[in-house]
Amino acid sequence: MFDYQSHFQTAVEALKTERRYRVFADLERQVGRFPRAIYRREGEERDITIWCSNDYLGMGQHEKVVSALQETAGRMGAGAGGTRNISGTNRPLVELEGELADLHGKQAALVFTSGFVSNEAGISTIARLLPDCLILSDQLNHASMIEGVRRAGTHKQIWRHNDLDHLEELLKAAGPDRAKLIVFESVYSMDGDIAPIEKIADLADRYGAMTYIDEVHAVGMYGPRGAGICERDGVMDRIDVIEGTLAKAFGTLGGYITGKSALIDAVRSYAPGFIFTTALPPGLAAAACASIRHLKQSSSEREAQQRQAAVTKEKLREAGLPLMPSDTHIVPVLVGDPEVCKAASDRLLDKHGIYIQPINYPTVPRGTERLRITPSPFHDDALIGELIGALVETWQALDLPLEGPTTTEHVNRRAELFAASGG
């Protein structure tokens, strides 16, 4: 008879052989002690510092956010009780969509149960509703966008990452009459670089394409009201669809798209990933709303995050650690080998109580394995000092090269060489 279990085992063994098998850290975050947490393994407990959280601003523990969740759940219950269509459209969710449309300066917003679902459902539905739509997708787009492009089932072309000439070539070849959807991100989360948004919008106008941007790693953190890079650069109205998450800087859960009313209404009406699933619970919607409202009028979190990220980068450079170039709050340190990357991460945790998840293929290209560090307003200068000491010790223990102090120029030069070598 067919041996089902051995097939699952073989599949997992293949990942282990390739050093891509993932182990999750059992963490217990504690309100008020961000970024500290309790880490448990094999019956042992210890206090550690998280340096790789996407709760970028610590909003998941913010008093306003936690109390909105508690108060609303106490009043309205834990779950939504149905899909949006079948009694799941609860009042806080309606308010949240109003808040999001306002945040991005759009006519309407639609909330999904995650950012992943919003991309998968949003991109695929928009493209399927257009006749013979050609999707033009940036090479480094997130897995959720790739799923959206796949599910659309329409023709697609991949443009080289942030390469405007390549994008223009493809737009030109498609011709002005064909429906075209350009999908890309504002902040690319593994490298911390930023798309040339305004120039992409110019090309879209010139060749008659629609634009869809993922601002997941920017919402809450950039722009005067935390609407993202498009707001910072004054180009929100140049982009047709702005997508974001409630789960990273906003510290809760859920995803969304914003845009013109007709488009949002169409996705609401046609996307299975929106229609056939239970709505976000009222407590979460209220918590997300509280977080967005707070970050709309408070910039101190954003400023502190930028400061701590800049200090971390500066100290890494001074210590000669191989900082990769980044224009944002994301601080990637190159290791370049999956096993060594895992070993570095293990040593940081075991010896130094510092948790930084190794980032390996397929999340990043092979040979560019890295530690991705995300300083928050709560990673103070003392914690940064500890981090640098632990990294230097780890680099020496694993016989990884230290470079001596580098400058931004050095870092950018390395990036060029790296790109040229196909890295």
Placement of tokens 């390996």 in the chain: 360
Tell me the three state secondary structure of residue 359. strand
Q: Which stretch binds ligand PLP (CB under 6 A): 32-40, 209-217, 344-352, 401-409?
A: 209-217
**How near is the Cβ of 8 to ligand PLP at its closest, in Å?**
25
Find the binder of ligand PLP among 35, 92, 115, 122 (CB under 6 A): 115
| Interacting residues with ligand PLP between 292 and 311 (CB under 6 A) | none
Of the pair 251, 255, the CB lying nearest ligand PLP is at 255
Q: According to the binding rule CB under 6 A, does residue 285 interact with ligand PLP? A: no
Query: What distance in Å separates the CA atoms of residue 173 and residue 65, rounded to the nearest whole number?
Result: 49
Nearest to 288 by CA among 231, 242, 245, 228: 245
Q: Are 26 and 41 in contact (CB under 8 A)?
A: yes
Query: What distance in Å separates the CA atoms of residue 160 and residue 383, rounded to the nearest whole number?
Result: 38
Query: What distance in Å separates the CA atoms of residue 213 and residue 200, rounded to the nearest whole number?
Result: 10
Q: Which stretch binds ligand PLP (CB under 6 A): 62-70, 115-123, 353-361, 407-415?
A: 115-123
Placement of tokens 């800049």 in the chain: 310
**How near is the Cβ of 411 to ligand PLP at its closest, in Å?**
23
Find the binder of ligand PLP among 61, 90, 186, 245 (CB under 6 A): 245
Residues belonging to the active site: 248
Find the binder of ligand PLP among 116, 184, 250, 274 (CB under 6 A): 116
Q: According to the binding rule CB under 6 A, does residue 214 interact with ligand PLP? A: yes
Binding mask 166-185 for ligand PLP (x = CB under 6 A): -------------------x
**How near is the Cβ of 226 to ligand PLP at its closest, in Å?**
16
Query: What distance in Å separates the CA atoms of residue 186 and residue 116, rounded to the nearest whole number?
Result: 16
Strand partners, 245: 255
Of the pair 229, 319, the CB lying nearest ligand PLP is at 229
Q: Taking the mean position of all CA atoms in its chain, how far away is CA 409?
A: 27
DSSP string for 105-154: T-SEEEEES-HHHHHHHHHHHHHHHSTTPEEEEETT--HHHHHHHHHH-S
Q: According to the binding rule CB under 6 A, does residue 255 interact with ligand PLP? A: yes
Residue type, 64: K
Find the binder of ligand PLP among 247, 288, 364, 373 (CB under 6 A): 247
Residue nearest to ligand PLP (CB): 115
Binding mask 125-154 for ligand PLP (x = CB under 6 A): -----------------x-x----------
**How near is the Cβ of 113 to ligand PLP at its closest, in Å?**
8
End-to-end Cα separation, the chain, in angstroms: 46
Q: According to the binding rule CB under 6 A, does residue 189 interact with ligand PLP? A: yes
Count helices and strands in the chain by DSSP H and E runs: 15, 14
Of the pair 214, 301, the CB lying nearest ligand PLP is at 214
Retrieve residue 331's tokens: 């601080």
DSSP string for 81-95: -SBIIIII--HHHHH
Widest pairwise Cα distance in the chain: 64
Q: According to the binding rule CB under 6 A, does residue 119 interact with ligand PLP? A: yes
Q: Which residues lie closer than 8 Å to 272 by C-beta, 6 or more apart?
A: 121
Of the pair 191, 337, the CB lying nearest ligand PLP is at 191
Query: What distance in Å separates the CA atoms of residue 80 and residue 213, rounded to the nearest whole number?
Result: 29
Q: According to the binding rule CB under 6 A, does residue 55 interact with ligand PLP? A: no
**How near is the Cβ of 214 to ligand PLP at its closest, in Å?**
5
Residues lying near ligand PLP in the complex (CB under 6 A):
114-116, 119, 142, 144, 185, 189, 214, 216-217, 245, 247, 255
